[in-house]
């Protein structure tokens, strides 16, 4: 195994200078090089005939360059064209913004290109995505890998290096799966997998190779979580055994009956809290499913057992919302609830810190102010983190380190399928509130073109005058940007209050306002004094105003599906019919798809699945989850069956039999060892 961690510079054909090029790609040793997998392939064995090319289809062509031409468009874009000819005809290959090609491609050369066909018969062009100049030094194999490169490193050089290291070093690569497991799940050997991912024999061999290496990554990720759990497993932790009737009092005083899903999840949490093992539980629930009341009941159990509880939220507005809700729920009890954020005045902050340290405060709700080093608890028994994907990995851990190993409950309104959740949050048990409170009507959602935006404002006016409604109007920016043609919140606010809604009270809230100003505006909106609230996405999560029944999102195409769903979740929180208008003119197919999907469903799980497909895992979660940004082969959307297999295999493997695994894991996910908060 150690053989694989040899520095890249000592390989034949590399040396100190070229090793610096590889290190720019994150390749430091042979292990890294093996996992530097191709991003695409050239299949030179069966190219398309030029005469058979069809507009709109993807094609691969092998031909001789008959002429080239370089030019610039009116907008300053560099365009390079080459006339390619095979035995069936000729086509123009086009490259954009690659002026250096004039010194690489010339008449008489044989080249292989692939890309999308554009134009009409007789005037077709091939917009090139990949190309290869063929000569006597070209590797004589049909399927060629295409790698991510850096300046000074060519495809030919990298392929030659790969061809040398695969036979020499793969015999040293560890095989972590037994023969029986490979037979049970129809998996190839690890050496076969690496060979056929870099240089596939054929399509079938490539698919077998990809399946094995995708599973290898997902399994290693599962193992890394188990190794971390084994390291961090506390010798002792808090056990919550109730000493008062606080929990029973809370249940009796609840303003509504819990749904069956909420009751089930509370029971799961209580069972965890009563054991000597530390609770690490993820609570998933769609927008408006009632996660806050579940968290409050968990905090009641902690306080009843003689401990303190803390709840951390990503924004001051959300922290304020939680503080108000939790204060109301505990108003009839002898429980002290405090709030601590970055805007808390120094004098008040000092008093809160002293009261937390002495045990005079039972529950504290706040922002990242709760993880400051100088803050200490008297006896913290439960840490709750809301919208946990907004925090970095270390931020989540810091609150959990306060006190004497408190139980940890993390919550998210970004619903994802259980299998995926167990992979992403493999160190957590998962609870899902999969039922909405009764009596709520589905929010009616409509995509509206910018040209019809006035109709939305007319509708808002009618609803306010005839039904006493309130409305949110959300913009993506605070102020106008010269680079982006967006209606900023400040500009739209001025237009609405001075013209369109001159006889209606309009408010403005955004992240640059002082906390006291935000609180004042939100309080006026809650009281119904402000009828239209123009806002940025600071109201995305947590804000709860039941009388607000209209959400209008301006430039809606700029938002992801999960964010649009969160915004829509600000309405539909009462008994009245609510509406969501997505105003925009999407210029991309993905942008249009997002808005049409929003019209079709209110189900957060369905939307989250679409969002993963459209945007990918990195953007979906908003922060780099540990290990996920190092997956080179596995796809979190497409490989959910392999995720299930990896979760089965982790139970079958005896990790103590693999003394090398920790080094293996550290090398595979080493770029994630120093992830800070977002």
Buried b (16+ CB within 10 A) or exposed e, 214-236: bbbbbbbbbbbbbeeeeeeeeee
Do domains 246-433 and 444-601 share one topology? The answer is yes
Give, in order, the Cα–Cα distances in Å from 151 to each of 22, 95, 101, 154, 157.
10, 19, 15, 8, 12
% of the chain at pLDDT higher than 70: 85
What pLDDT score was predicted for residue 672? 43
Where residue 422 falls among pLDDT bands split at 50, 70, 90?
Answer: low
Q: Is the pLDDT of residue 656 over 70?
A: no
What is the Cα–Cα distance from 193 to 206, expressed in whole angstroms? 8
What CATH number matches the domain at 444-601, 3.40.50.300, 3.40.640.10, 3.30.470.160, 3.40.50.2300?
Answer: 3.40.50.300
* pLDDT (tens digit per residue) in 274-301: 998 888 888 988 877 889 999 999 999 9
pTM of the shown model: 0.64
| Residue 285 CA to its chain's centroid (Å) | 17
DSSP state of 162: H
Q: Domain 40-146 classified CATH 2.40.50.140? A: yes
Q: List the structure tokens of 670.
A: 């080493």
Q: Is the pLDDT of residue 232 over 70?
A: no
* pLDDT (tens digit per residue) in 364-382: 999 888 888 888 899 999 9
Q: Is the pLDDT of residue 302 over 50?
A: yes
What pLDDT score was predicted for residue 289? 84
Q: Is the pLDDT of residue 675 over 60?
A: no
Where residue 620 falls among pLDDT bands split at 50, 70, 90?
Answer: very low
* pLDDT (tens digit per residue) in 252-270: 888 788 999 999 999 999 9
DSSP state of 556: G
Which residues lie closer than 8 Å to 146 by C-beta, 6 or more apart? 38, 39, 40, 41, 42, 130, 155
Class of domain 246-433: alpha beta
What pLDDT score was predicted for residue 624? 44
Q: Is the pLDDT of residue 343 over 90?
A: no
Contact between 533 and 471 under an 8 Å Cβ cutoff? The reply is yes
In 557-598, at which residue ranges do the beta strands (DSSP E only) sit?
579-583
| Domain map (residue ranges) of the chain | 40-146, 175-233+638-678, 246-433, 444-601
Buried b (16+ CB within 10 A) or exposed e, 524-535: ebbeeebbbbbb
% of the chain at pLDDT higher than 90: 36
Q: Is the pLDDT of residue 392 over 90?
A: no
What pLDDT score was predicted for residue 676? 31
Give, in order, the Cα–Cα distances in Å from 523 to each of 515, 549, 559.
12, 17, 27
Tokens 């290096």 belong to: 161
What is the Cα–Cα distance from 255 to 95, expressed in whole angstroms? 65
Residue 465: count other Cβ atoms within 10 Å of its Cβ: 12
Backbone angles phi, psi at 540, to 5 degrees: -60, -40
Helix, strand, or coil (residue 561): helix
What pLDDT score was predicted for residue 622? 43
Buried b (16+ CB within 10 A) or exposed e, 488-519: bbbbbbeebbeebbeebbbbbbbeeeeeeebb
| Residue 251 CA to its chain's centroid (Å) | 36
| Residue 120 CA to its chain's centroid (Å) | 40
Q: List the structure tokens of 73.
A: 């468009």
Beta-sheet pairing, 579-583 with 444-448: parallel
* pLDDT (tens digit per residue) in 483-540: 555 668 888 899 999 999 999 999 998 877 887 888 888 889 989 999 999 988 776 5
Helix, strand, or coil (residue 276): coil
What pLDDT score was predicted for residue 45? 73
Where residue 396 falls among pLDDT bands split at 50, 70, 90?
Answer: low
């Amino acid at each position: 195994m150690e053989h694989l961690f040899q520095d890249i510079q000592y390989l034949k054909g590399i040396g100190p200078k070229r090793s610096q090029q590889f290190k720019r790609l994150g390749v430091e040793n042979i292990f890294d090089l093996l996992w530097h997998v191709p991003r695409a392939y050239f299949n030179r064995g069966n190219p398309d005939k030029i005469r058979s090319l069809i507009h709109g289809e993807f094609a691969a062509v092998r031909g001789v360059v008959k002429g080239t031409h370089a030019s610039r468009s009116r907008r300053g874009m560099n365009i390079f064209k080459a006339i390619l000819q095979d035995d069936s005809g000729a086509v123009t290959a086009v490259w954009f913004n690659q002026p250096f090609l004039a010194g690489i491609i010339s008449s008489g050369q044989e080249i292989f290109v692939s890309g999308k066909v554009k134009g009409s018969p007789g005037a077709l062009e091939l917009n090139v995505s990949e190309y290869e100049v063929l000569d006597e030094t070209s590797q004589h194999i049909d399927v060629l890998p295409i790698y991510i490169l850096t300046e000074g490193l060519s495809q030919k050089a990298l392929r030659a290096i790969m061809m040398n290291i695969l036979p020499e070093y793969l015999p040293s690569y560890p095989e972590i799966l037994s023969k029986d497991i490979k037979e049970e799940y129809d998996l190839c050997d690890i050496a076969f997998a690496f060979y056929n991912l870099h240089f596939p024999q054929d399509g079938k061999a490539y698919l077998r190779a990809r399946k094995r290496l995708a599973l290898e990554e997902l399994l290693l990720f599962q193992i890394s979580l188990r190794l971390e759990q084994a390291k961090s497993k506390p010798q002792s932790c808090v056990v919550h055994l109730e000493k008062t009737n606080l929990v029973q009092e809370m249940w009796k005083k609840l303003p509504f009956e819990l749904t069956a899903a909420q009751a089930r999840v509370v029971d799961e949490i209580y069972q965890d809290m009563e054991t000597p093992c530390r609770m690490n539980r993820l609570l998933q629930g769609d927008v408006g499913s009632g996660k806050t009341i579940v968290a409050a009941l968990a905090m009641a159990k902690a306080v009843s057992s003689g401990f303190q509880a803390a709840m951390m939220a990503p924004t001051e507005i959300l922290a304020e919302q939680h503080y108000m809700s939790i204060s109301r729920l505990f108003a009839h009890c002898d429980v002290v609830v405090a709030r601590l954020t970055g805007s808390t005045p120094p004098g008040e902050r000092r008093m809160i810190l002293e009261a937390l340290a002495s045990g005079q405060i039972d529950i504290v709700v706040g922002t990242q102010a709760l993880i400051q080093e100088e803050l200490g608890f008297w006896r913290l028994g439960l840490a709750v983190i809301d919208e946990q994907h907004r925090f970095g990995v270390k931020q989540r851990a810091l609150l959990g380190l306060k006190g004497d190993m408190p139980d940890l409950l993390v919550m998210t309104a970004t619903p994802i399928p259980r299998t995926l959740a167990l992979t992403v949050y493999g160190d957590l048990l998962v609870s899902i509130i999969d039922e909405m409170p009764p009596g709520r009507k589905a929010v009616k959602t409509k995509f509206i073109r910018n040209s019809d935006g006035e109709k939305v404002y007319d509708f808002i006016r009618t609803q306010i005058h005839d039904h006493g409604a309130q409305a949110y109007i959300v913009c993506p920016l605070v102020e106008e940007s010269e680079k982006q043609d967006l209606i900023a919140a400040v500009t739209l606010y001025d237009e609405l209050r001075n013209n369109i809604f001159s006889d209606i009270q309009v408010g403005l809230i955004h992240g640059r306002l002082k906390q006291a100003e935000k609180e004042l505006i939100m309080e006026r909106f809650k009281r119904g004094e402000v009828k239209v609230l123009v806002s940025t996405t600071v109201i995305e999560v947590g804000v709860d105003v039941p009388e607000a029944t209209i959400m209008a999102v301006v430039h809606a195409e700029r938002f992801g599906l999960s964010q649009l769903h969160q915004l829509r979740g600000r309405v539909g929180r009462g008994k009245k019919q609510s509406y969501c208008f997505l105003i925009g003119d999407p210029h991309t197919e993905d942008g249009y798809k997002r808005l049409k999907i929003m019209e079709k469903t209110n189900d957060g799980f369905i939307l989250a699945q679409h969002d993963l497909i459209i945007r990918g895992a990195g953007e979906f979660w908003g922060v780099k989850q540990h290990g996920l940004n190092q997956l080179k082969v596995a796809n979190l959307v497409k490989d959910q069956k392999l995720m299930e297999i990896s979760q089965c295999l982790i139970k079958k493997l005896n990790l103590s039999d693999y003394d090398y695994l920790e080094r293996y894991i550290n090398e595979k996910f080493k770029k994630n060892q120093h992830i800070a908060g977002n």
